[in-house]
Structure 1
């Protein structure tokens, strides 16, 4: 009996360990966000001590989703789903999403990020999402059950509470909020102690537990990089505005010439 109990306990512990191999599974459309938003988000999650699974670009070459990736979903506690304009155009992403909903739908551990999309368009599958599913239905005409499963998964995730990039002036602000919220969920005990320490150590040089993942030089480097990125983004906006103003001036001159 004791041996049987130890075996069950060992199996249970092993299962728990397997489930917690990753804190977060990051689901995203590579062509939309891999080299920008998702890369910066992954980097900050890693720096904060949050074990995050991000797929290898080489995996997306094949048409069939890899068993390793599906296993990573099963072994993750939370899922961050970056819903970008072309997310639904990828059958890979939709298969991934369906697996996420299957594994985490009842646990309340799916967190959507609406990146450069209107949340209601995702929920009701309008715009680029409507176009994507129209193409899927033509491609899988004889297997619409699969497409409907993808639709249901997307609707379910899009109706969950999350973050919208449209509510933030800079991506760095959005990423900071997401990372801090994930850290609290992944390490609730540390988060509680951190909050209590901040309350009790006002004016003290002591640092609360869990707050010092980055050295001062790392923080300075991140701050400079964020400042440069924001400055580049502002310059790009200024260039776009100037181009638009120049187009308007040309249009006005052309109209004036026509009516002379």
Structure 2
């Protein structure tokens, strides 16, 4: 694998990462995902991390999408408010599309304080998030449906159920 060095991105260079981690920052950044990134770095895995990789003033969406395209493995940390983030839903849709298109990339789901069935069935906070998305994006319900499909597809994979840990 690659070195322990965190790669810096600029729009002129190709971004290649071993791992892209999709997560809701407000839910897990200062806890679970910090520990996950530290563990990956200790093992020499180069992981994309938005708060350390995207240069200030950079365009978030294009940088995120390029990082996803340049990654070999995806870890998706589903948490209570994951689906409420349009960024997370855009990332997940891109990840699922790449995994399905190429068949060469792996997606590893982690269910952090949320059950896999809640994500799959889009119940609880996931149902509430989608009701809000449907209201907010009522002129683009096709996009919201793609987000729903991406959630379902990602839950068809075996993952880790991390409750209260």
Range class of TM-score, shorter chain: 0.7 to 0.9
The alpha carbon displacement at 1:65 in A equals 4.8
- Residue 151 (structure 1) aligned with residue 148 (structure 2): yes
Greater share of strand: 2
Matches within 5 A, 1:90-239: 90-105=85-100, 106-107=103-104, 109-166=106-163, 171=165
Q: Are 2:47 and 1:34 aligned?
A: no
Alignment TM-score, normalising by the size of structure 1: 0.53
Supply the RMSD in Å over aligned alpha carbons.
2.1
Structure with the bigger RCO (C-alpha within 8 Å, sep 6+) is 2
Alignment CA distance shift 1:89-1:109 (3 Å): same
2:113 and 2:104 map into 1 onto residues whose CA distance is 27
Residue 44, structure 1, aligned to residue 39, structure 2: yes
Flag the structure with higher helix content.
Answer: 1
The change in CA–CA distance for 1:65 and 1:94 in structure 2 (over 3 A counts) is farther
Question: Between Structure 1 and Structure 2, whose CA radius of gyration is higher?
Answer: 1
Give 1:58 shift: 10
Q: Deviations over 1:98-156 (max 9, x none)?
A: 11111123335010000000110100100000000000000011110000000000110
Partner Cα separation in structure 2 for residue 67 and residue 57 of structure 1:
16
| Structure 2 unaligned spans of 5+ | 1-13
Count of residues paired in the alignment: 147
Which whole-Å CA distance do the structure 2 matches of 1:80 and 1:41 have between them? 10
**What is the TM-score normalised by the length of structure 2?**
0.83
Match of 2:4 in 1: none
